Amino acid sequence: MQHQWLKWFNGYLVIILNGRRIERLINLAVQKGMQVWNITRYDDQRGKIAIRLEDFFRLKPLLKETGCRMRIMSRHGFPFFLTRVKDRYAFFGGFVLFITMLFLLSRIIWSVEVIGNEKISDYEVLQIAQKVGIEEGKFSFMLDDPDKIQVRLMEQLPEASWVGFQVKGTKAQIRIVEKVIPDSKEVLTPRHLVATKSAVIHKVFAEQGKPLVRPDDFVRKGDILVSGLIGKEDSPTAVAAKGIVEGEVWYETEVVIPLNQKQSVYVGDKHRNIYLVWGEKQLKIWGFKELPFTEYEVKEEKRVLRLREKTYPFGWKVEDLFSVEVLESKLNEAQVLEIAKKTAKDDILTKMGNGGYIKEEKVLHQKQENDKVYIKMHIVAIEDIAIEQPITLEGEGD
């Protein structure tokens, strides 16, 4: 192993020999103390050897003596590495400078983030942070110990029960836990629950208040579902009605489905681009060849540098462009209906929000024009139709 290391440090070449007296040439070289190894014979007049750089120049007189010729196949070792570095000193110098700048930039506090605060304003916290030495544009290694900073922030923020501080990459993060002052119990104003839309009542759950409807009742928008007036009719007590009233709601929707569908299919070719990334900027370092295809889909993967649980704002991005072929196909009737039902149901569920569901769906009308299918659907949904409405008590506003 050490012998191989010395060969690399001194430098060596792999050369191709041509001539009828190759064996004579190698024997003479060995007799004169030259180091020759990895001898390969291709045929009677061609061979290959590895030879030290310092012996390479001593080999030339022997070539004339034996009538052989040589051609350098490859160069190896430290001397040739130095030559390449000298030839590209600007590139290597720029690369070292680039890495140094990235390192320094990664040690700068670019932003100060305040989280967990509600009553204490960000401005107040940032002003105090600046007093203890936390500010944008400062090198993180110039900050005091995080524990000391935490104590100083606690002293300056009496409204906080706890203050945490840490530096995450280029961001200084101040976490606030505010002191909790018990609030008086919230007093809810009297209110009814009324219907948001016309529906057939499906289920009623009144947590507080007087239910005025039952399952299978038909209600219109604005009808009172759960009254906030309870007790005697001549002297009722006003409360805040609470509960859930599910209604069966009917929808009609029209969906347009193109018969001709386009689908992208991978065909196997791929082109890769690689970028150096710092912050929001990027520099392309790989993938300069002309793109051999026109239709493609892109898949990106970003990696950032992480050291000792810290994330730095630079890394690299790999962008793969996959060649695709766009194929056209025509839907049959069953496929059209399946897509139409899914599209219609998704649209209704989006309008309903959380908690609702589709009970049934039915196609009312279907027609085809200009390679498009128009489908009219009837959908029955179950959803919460109750909304709060304040009660105006007699005598208010006088």
- Name all contacts of 361-366 with Cβ < 8 Å and 24+ positions apart: 363/337, 364/252
Residue 307 or 368, more confident: 368
CA-to-CA separations, 77 to 14, 17, 22, in angstroms, rounded: 11, 21, 25
Instruction: State whether CATH 3.30.70.260 applies to domain 2-82.
Output: yes
pLDDT of 216 reads 93
Kindly indicate the confidence band of residue 215, based on its pLDDT and cuts at 50, 70 and 90.
Answer: very high
CB atoms under 10 Å from CB of 80, counted, come to: 16
Q: Tell me the per-residue pLDDT of 123-138, one tens digit each, with 9 for 90 and over.
A: 888 888 888 888 887 8
For residue 61 the two structure tokens come to 């007189």
Residue keyed to tokens 């149901």: 345
- Between 215 and 103, the more confident residue is 215
CB 198 within 8 A of CB 137: no
- Strand, helix or coil for residue 374: strand
Is residue 322 a contact partner of residue 270, using CB atoms and an 8 Å limit? yes
What would the mean pLDDT of 233-255 be, rounded to a whole number? 89
CA distances from 159 to 118, 122, 162, 167, 239 (A): 11, 13, 9, 23, 36
- How far apart, in whole angstroms, are the C-alpha atoms of residue 332 and residue 136? 62
- Do 226 and 386 contact (CB within 8 A), yes or no? yes
* Closest to 92 in 3D by CA, of 102, 84, 80: 84
- Summarize pLDDT for 17-32 with one digit per residue, the tens: 998 888 888 899 888 8
DSSP-assigned letter for residue 368: E
Strand partners, 381: 249, 358
What is the CATH architecture assignment of 111-178? Answer: Roll (3.10)
Angle at CA of residue 338, ends 333 and 339, nearest 5°? 100
Do 228 and 238 contact (CB within 8 A), yes or no? yes
- What are the pLDDT digits (tens) for 40-60? 888 888 899 999 888 888 888
Phi, psi of 350 (to 5 degrees): -65, -40
Residues in Cβ contact with 218 at an 8 Å cutoff, skipping those fewer than 6 apart: 198, 199, 200, 201
Domain boundaries, the chain: 2-82, 111-178, 255-259+331-386, 262-327
Q: With a cut of 90, say whether residue 199 has pLDDT above it.
A: yes
